[in-house]
A and B are shown apart, each in its own frame.
Chain A
Amino acid sequence: MAGRLDVRKTYKLYIGGAFPRSESGRSYAVADSRGRFLANASHASRKDARDAVVAARKAFDGWSGATAYNRGQVLYRVAELMEGRRDQFVEEVLAAEGGGRAKATAAVDAAIDRWVWYAGWTDKVAQVAGSANPVAGPYFNFSTPEPTGVVAALAPQSSSLLGLVSVVAPIVCVGNTVVVVTSADRPLPAVTLSEVLATSDVPGGVVNVLTGHAAELGPWLADHLDVNAIDLTGAAGDTDLAVDLEVRAAENTKRVLRSPAAEPDWTATPDGPRRILAFCETKTVWHPMGV
């Protein structure tokens, strides 16, 4: 083949808004759906996970303190930027997942639309899940959903982009920050998504992306006492891992979104705000009514 030699991309981690290599210096070879070498991805270590949690915690106050309207605008902008890179995502998803261009295109489109869907939820969820409570006394009493805090998420192993977005977007839309471990074998679309996030208005640290293995990073995140909740979706099919992580999560009574028996069909419309509410706390405030 004659012509110009490609400039290849280095796929790195995304932590606190920066793109470091793994502190361990490790990387691993990523193959396409037919087993051909695609690229080396950073192989995140426990220390990368630790750093990512620190970044996520640091970003939490600002992100959770932003107005819901503002978070909606910011997340909608992610969709805008993805749309601009649509072809690149299609290529990467096709390479990672195979299955034909039409399917890859549909997955990318759905991923973009999923950001739009969750962007729209930011300023609805408190109305849907909140309430004014008619207590038997002279008190005004209301309940509102609030973000749980720092959430660790295991992204689906199969659906490299749509599955990832379907897990991350509901977590961050209410103001949580997230440390997500990508699909181990199909991490590259996640890194490109990180590049989108970095150039979007999502503050650094709100989404932290670790490429690597759930079985290696999961226990550190499940054990981590500054992680408030864990989404085990990516452990679908690996019962031993899921149980081990759930046991570890109990140390600080993490909220656990259990893994399904098998990876769900992500193209289906989300089942209401269920994934959002899995990472919400209900806060109830009382105040007397008097003169």
Chain B
Amino acid sequence: MSSSAVAPFVAPDAIGDLAAATASDSALRRFLHGLPGVDQVGAEARAAGLATRSIKKDAKRWALDMIVAMTDLTTLEGADTPGKVRAMSAKAVQPEPGDPTCPSVAAVCVYPDLVAVAKRAVAGSSVAVASVATAFPSGRASLEVKLADVASAVDAGADEVDMVIDRGAFLAGRYSVVLEEIRAVKQACGRAHLKVILETGELATLDNVRRASWLAMAGGADFIKTSTGKAAQSATPPVTLVMLEAVRDFAEATGTVVGVKVAGGIRTSKEAVRYLVLVHETAGVEWLRPDRFRFGASSLLNDVLMQRAFQRTGRYHSADRVTLD
């Protein structure tokens, strides 16, 4: 990569050779720190401005179905059991029994040891099985252990792997360590799609979110994902805005399309629709599809189902009428 590779605005012509930008620790540092800064107040104002979009009628019905189709229905608890995973998987395949117009969710997301159970439960449907790995959620383990974790998920049939980056290494400025780990995991994934969790709540600044996004994409991420859902702060609209800008710019610069997954704390249809607006007006309508944008959530789905019912019947719905999973 020429010196123009760290040109401030990462113009499409300025990033011809991503390999060179990641070839050495110093080149990588120069590249990441050459990315344009993010003004937090401005980014928050933009996200807040988009949150005032008013989505009504057909646009809302379309959005609600899309949210269902974009959902990674998730259970990541110490108390998870095969029974719990089977129940959730059934719901994933058929979220709204009796309503054939309701799409299945995109995937179920579980720990590696429950992948096999989930695989069996969704067999024959369009629902994929995603598994967190790499010593989720802290990522504090040796690379060998992390890779073994990935292998166990992939061997059990995971279609998608949600890894966590080493935030400690990132914050310490050891970007190459983070990059190499992502590359190694990517390789271990084989045909499984790789989602790279940045855990943005621990990265603290939007500048770091932008750098981590590019780092993950450079490492081969198919998706970049906001959070584990286990940190104090999970997905927020400004963080998502910055990540969407990153995938947009990365696609423009390299031609490679990367998806975005928001996870943690998104519980209502209203919030989820706002995320769709963010996607629509930042990365563009091309990202409004389940292979480019996902919601990692558990309780969101039922709220969306209740909203769908309201749209269908004109009556506000009761939680008793949507199923627990």
Contact = CB atoms under 8 A, between A and B. Distances in A.
- What DSSP secondary structure best describes chain A's contact surface? loop
B187 interface: no
Contacts of A3: none
Given A139-B41, A288-B41, A289-B41, 14 more contacts: A137-B41, A138-B41, A138-B44, A288-B39, A288-B40, A288-B42, A290-B39, A290-B40, A290-B41, A290-B44, A291-B40, A291-B204, A291-B205, A291-B206
A139 B42 CA distance: 11
Which of B39, B41, B44 has the most C-beta atoms of chain A within 10 angstroms of its own C-beta? B41
A291 B42 CA distance: 11
Nearest to B40: A290
Interface of A: 137-139, 288-291
17 contacts: A137-B41, A138-B41, A138-B44, A139-B41, A288-B39, A288-B40, A288-B41, A288-B42, A289-B41, A290-B39, A290-B40, A290-B41, A290-B44, A291-B40, A291-B204, A291-B205, A291-B206
What's the interface size class on B, roughly?
A: under 10
Contacts of B41: 137-139, 288-290
A165 to B, nearest CB: 48
B53 to A, nearest CB: 21
Nearest to B204: A291
B202 to A, nearest CB: 14
Overall SS of chain B's interface: helix
B44 to A, nearest CB: 8
Contacts of A290: 39-41, 44
A225 B205 CA distance: 49
A137 B45 CA distance: 10
A288 B204 CA distance: 17
Contacts of B204: 291
Contacts of A138: 41, 44
A290 B44 CA distance: 10
Contacts of B44: 138, 290
Contacts of B205: 291
Interface string B200-215: 0000111000000000
Interface in B109-129: none
A261 B247 CA distance: 71
A172 B205 CA distance: 46
Report, nearest first, the 4 A-B pairs whose CB atoms are least far apart.
A290-B40, A288-B41, A290-B41, A138-B41
Nearest to A288: B41
A147 B229 CA distance: 55
Contacts of B39: 288, 290
Nearest to A289: B41
Contacts of B206: 291
B292 to A, nearest CB: 29
Nearest to A290: B40
A49 to B, nearest CB: 48
A261 B65 CA distance: 79
B64 to A, nearest CB: 33
A74 B40 CA distance: 44
A170 B261 CA distance: 63
Nearest to A138: B41
Interface string B25-50: 00000000000000111101000000
Nearest to B41: A288
A138 B44 CA distance: 10
Contacts of A291: 40, 204-206
A286 to B, nearest CB: 10
A109 B81 CA distance: 96
Interface string B202-234: 001110000000000000000000000000000
Nearest to A139: B41
A250 B157 CA distance: 81
Contacts of A288: 39-42
A209 to B, nearest CB: 49
A289 B206 CA distance: 13
A291 B205 CA distance: 6
A138 B205 CA distance: 16
Interface in B181-206: 204-206
Contacts of B40: 288, 290-291
A289 B44 CA distance: 12
B121 to A, nearest CB: 44
A288 B42 CA distance: 8
A179 to B, nearest CB: 44
B38 to A, nearest CB: 9
Contacts of A139: 41
Interface string B52-79: 0000000000000000000000000000
A285 to B, nearest CB: 15
Contacts of A137: 41
A15 B71 CA distance: 78
Most chain B CB inside 10 Å of its own CB: which residue of A138, A288, A289, A290: A290
A115 to B, nearest CB: 46
A139 B41 CA distance: 8
Contacts of B42: 288
A18 B203 CA distance: 63
Most chain-B CB neighbours within 10 Å: which of A138, A139, A288?
Answer: A288
A288 B45 CA distance: 11
A289 B40 CA distance: 8
